[in-house]
A and B are shown apart, each in its own frame.
Chain A
Amino acid sequence: MGGTSSEVKLKSQWFQILLSLADGDRHGLEIMESVLERTDGETHLWPGMLYGALKQLSEAGLIVEKKPPKPGGVNGGNPRYYGITPLGRRASSAYARRLERFVEEARAKKLLKGRAR
């Protein structure tokens, strides 16, 4: 499935996953934990939700499965590693810009204190 970054509509969970992959390849459990940490425990990706999303993201061409960096990984298994694709990067930055617009608007409406960096 192709398409430009502006066409790809992201769900917030998908954005969280892409965000976790933005600074390097990770396996599922790492993604789950990083999302949990970043959202202060608010967004808990349960395994079905997580891997369902990973599958759909792969099919949409936003992420790609990567070779594990070293064999003999987590808990005796060989987990699958995922990396973000350029399309995934464009889609997540488009999503982030949209969020940014919302934040700026909230600030302009004095819903937030201080200026944007």
Chain B
Amino acid sequence: MSGFMLRVYRGLLHFLPEEFRQTYGQDMVVAFEAILTRRGPRPWIFARGAVDIVMTSLRLRRARRLRPRPLRREGLHEALSCDAKLALRRLRRDPGACVASVLILALGIAATCTVFALVDSVLLRPLDYQSPERLVALFLHEISHGNERAPTSPANFLAWSEAATSLELMTAAHPWQPVLTGQDRPRQLAGLKASPSLFELLGVAPLMGSTFTSNLGAAGDSRVVVLGEGLWKREFGGDPEILGQRVTLGDEPYTVIAVMPQSFAFPPFWATEAEMWAPLILTEADASQHSRYLRVFARMRPGVALPAVKNETDVISARLVERFSEQNAGTAIQVESLREPVVGDVRRGLWVLLAAVVSVLLIAAVNASGLASVRALANLRDTAISAALGASPWRLMAPALLEGFLLCLAAGAAGLGGGHLGVTLIRRFGPKDLPRLSSLSITPAAVAVTVAICMLAGLGIGLWPALRARRLHARRNIRESVSPRHRRPLLSAQIAMSAMLLAGAGLLGGTYLTLARLEPGFLRSGVLTMTLVLPSALKDQIVGQKALLEQIASEVVALPGVERAGFVNHLPIGGDIWGVTFARTDLPEPSAGEEPRASLRVVTPTYFETLQIPLRRGRVFESLDESPDTRHVVVNEHLAETYWPSEDPVGRTIRAGGDPQSPPWTVIGVVGDVRQSDLTDPVRPELYFSYQNNPAPGYLMTSLAVRTSLPPDRVVASIRRVVSDTDDQVAVADVRTMDQILSENIWQQRFNSLVMTLFAAAALLLAAIGLYGVVSYTVRGRTREMAIRQALGARPRDLAIQVLTEGLRVTGWGVAFGLALAYVSAGALATLLYGIDPTDWRTYAGSAGLLTLVSLVACYLPARRAGRLDPVAGLRSE
């Protein structure tokens, strides 16, 4: 019995604190055994022993709680949780400043997270194809015209793919916009015709079915089509039986063989709206085809690097210039990683935005650290007492550091949420032309960067108060000076960054405004445009096409609210550009590759009045009923001035298309210059032909431009009706106003200037808050000094002016330094600017003025407070 009791007693000892049990446990068992021996193993003896253990345990634990513990013996975990509690208690003491810090930081982190996600999704993440780093795009570099990314001809493509050994699966493609018929109304679709090796090149699996492969060769089975998931759902209701069905595209039957997933997009940089793919079969006959309309893609063989490919293509290109001397003179092959044409245009802009957002983040962090150091001053007493009680330097620093981390943890969580919102907003409302917009998301890299930023910011914010606490440990001096003098360089740095951002925003904003106001060479407002696809029966039928266009134009003009209507093969700014070579007939024939080149437009006579392109000399086409032998052409001012510098071109003749045997064209008029593909592009020579003698009758697409006195959307339905009443085989697509086209054209400048302005505004606000905080803190800290000066005869106005001057001195340094930095780094912005010099002094002066004004406002309140000080109360204050 007593053995059992002893065993249970031994077990009960575990109620005692570990340390006590280790030391005294064995002796206690011996003592209890002696008691049992003396008094016998009675239950009440055992119960009394058990109660003794429990009471002792409670007593010891209570004593331990009350006793000041030596800090060194604590575990890391215990110390951390204790310091975290202290940090939380300190933060709760000043909830306003705490919420302000979190908000300021969260804004900075959210903006950084959004922009980094944008940079990562667009620039850094590999393209969504198999081994994308090995994919390249090949272009024809038209050296004499300065066009590095021109399409190439079937003849060149066939020669390239035969000769290149460093590349495999070379694939040519061209846009394909067939009309889908057999449904309730014909619809123009966007697609791509590409060599059968396309899907092997990209290595993307279909959602269903199987795609065409390079084994597809015989003409018989080339009428197959692969649909995109979006198109499949939209036009075919997501029919699960779609595979094997026949669809009529451009009057030809195609069999649907596969559906690609929604995430698949190709090509990624031009004709990006393509959502169906059909094989392009080039035959022997194409080996002598020299019109340039193909874009070429290929995969580098494993282990081959881009420079090796470039060396090889240089050799091939030199050989081809010899072989097709007439067609290939002045050209070379341009090979680029596929990523380059996709993101090359936006890269600079996105990096600039990232730099800007990092500046905003830094300003936010400096502000939050300012708030933290004010809080640290309030906690100085606590810290001093801890130091006096012998807390180690680490224990003095820990609460301040943890405060910083806790703030940044909260701000980081809010910032990630904000980043998610930002990314969602950009995906929904952002510029449609931003490459890879649909795949924009908060990437793991963006999360990692955000977390890293939080850690750094936490350290940055907590470090100063922590070091201060440590210094206190060294000096044990509670009455240390609390002047925020040391914050002035930081404040100046904040203002300098704001100045840089303001100058950048000013330059980008100036670019956008210049472009938005730029006259494109025609009257942009009140013009509605749409693309019409003529029935394929009219292919090469100049007369038939002409009759149809005339009929549609005359009926559209008869609609209420419509003033003018005209046709053009490709609209300026929004449309494609075809080039044509030409030569003056009165001069010797230029050598191959040296012929002047102009954009080719085919128009109806009313086109010029519709867009109000001014006539400078001669006349424009009068009607489409002129004799078929009249070969008339209208030129733009730039062409006239370049090729007839001191003569009147009207009545002169040219030969177009490089065939010296073709009959000449007579220039009948000169019209004003029109911007062609981009508002920022320089004006180029332009030749206008009439649909009367359409030089490209095989092309069935045309654009209708309508000038209307009503809001354009009110006439769209009636125009559609007129078109389908005239010929129900004509498809209407791409209905937009000219204002929309122009505005879409400068999306990048608008986006850059908008985002930069937002960042600059945030920076300005934060800098102003920082300045206000420091100046008012200085005034509070110097109340006594100012009171003494007042007692000695200083006027209130003098004190106010002194405070203002000090604030403005800090601003002055910041502005000077910031603008100097902006001036030095202006080169980085140069390629993003248009019509404004990167060192435009007005922008710099404006930024300086704005910052000074805002600083004045931020310093005014504390200065006024200084002026209204009551000297008696001031003298009494500590």
Apart from the given pairs A47-B28, A75-B30, 5 other A-B contacts in the complex at a CB distance below 8 Å: A29-B34, A46-B35, A47-B31, A48-B55, A48-B57
Q: Could you list 23 examples of A-B contacts with CB < 8 Å?
A: A27-B27, A28-B24, A28-B30, A28-B31, A29-B31, A33-B34, A46-B35, A47-B27, A47-B28, A47-B29, A47-B32, A47-B52, A47-B53, A48-B28, A49-B52, A51-B24, A51-B27, A74-B30, A75-B33, A75-B34, A77-B26, A77-B30, A80-B27
**A56 to chain B: which residues have CB within 8 Å?**
63
A interface vs B, CB < 8 Å? 27-29, 32-33, 46-52, 54-56, 74-75, 77, 79-80
Contacts of A74 in B (CB 8 A): 30
* Contact call A46/B33, Cβ cutoff below 8 A: no
How far is the CB of A71 from the nearest CB of chain B, in Å? 15
Query: Which 3 pairs of residues, A with B, have the shortest CB-CB distance?
Result: A48-B56, A46-B52, A47-B28
Q: How far is the CB of A30 from chain B (nearest CB, A)?
A: 10
The 8 A CB mask of B525-555 against A (1 = contact, 0 = none) is 0000000000000000000000000000000
B59 at the interface (CB under 8 A from A): yes
Partner of B27, one of A33, A46, A49, A77: A77
Interface of A is mostly: helix
Q: Are A47 and B49 in contact (CB under 8 A)?
A: yes
Kindly identify, within residues 539 to 591 of chain B, every residue whose CB is under 8 Å from any CB belonging to chain A.
none
Bound form: Cα–Cα A48–B28 in Å? 7
Is B100 interfacial (CB 8 A cutoff)?
A: no
| Distance between B19 CB and nearest chain A CB, rounded to angstroms | 10
Partner of A49, one of B33, B56, B63: B56
In the bound complex, CA of A33 to CA of B33 (Å) = 13
How distant is A81 from chain B, measured CB to nearest CB, in Å? 11
Q: Mark B45-68, 1 if CB is under 8 A from A, else 0.
A: 000110011011101100100000
Tell me the nearest residue of chain B to A28, going by C-beta.
B27
B48→A79 contact, CB < 8 A: no
Cβ–Cβ contact B24 & A29, under 8 A: no
Chain A residues contacting B324 (CB-CB under 8 Å) are: none
B637 shortest CB reach to chain A, Å: 103
- For the complex, is B841 an interface residue (Cβ under 8 Å from A)? no
Q: Tell me, in angstroms, the Cα distance from A56 to B52 when the chains sit together.
A: 16
B30 with A46: CB separation less than 8 A:
no
CB neighbours (8 Å) of B270 from chain A are none
Give residues of chain B (374-417) contacting chain A, Cβ–Cβ below 8 Å: none
Among B32, B52, B57, max chain A CB count under 10 A is at B52
A28 and B29 alpha carbons, distance in the complex (Å): 11
Interface centre among A47, A56, A79 (most CB of B within 10 A): A47
Closest to B45 in A: A46
Q: Please, how many angstroms separate the alpha-carbon atoms of A80 and B16 in the complex? A: 19
Is B644 an interface residue, CB under 8 A from the partner? no
Cβ-based interface call for B643 (8 A): no
Nearest A-chain residue to B54, judged by Cβ = A48
Choose among A27, A46, A75 the residue with the greatest number of B CB atoms under 10 Å from its CB: A46
Is B30 a contact partner of A54 (Cβ separation < 8 A)? no
- Contact A52 B31, beta carbon cutoff 8 Å: no
Minimum CB–CB distance for B868 against chain A, Å:
57
Pick from B24, B33, B49, B60: contact of A54, CB below 8 A: B24
Q: Determine whether B236 belongs to the interface, using a CB cutoff of 8 Å to chain A.
A: no
Give A46's nearest chain B residue, CB to CB. B52
> Contacts of B16 on A, CB cut-off 8 Å?
48
- Is the pair A52, B27 in contact by a Cβ cutoff of 8 Å? no
B699 at the interface (CB under 8 A from A): no
The residues of B that contact A27 with a CB separation of less than 8 Å are: 27
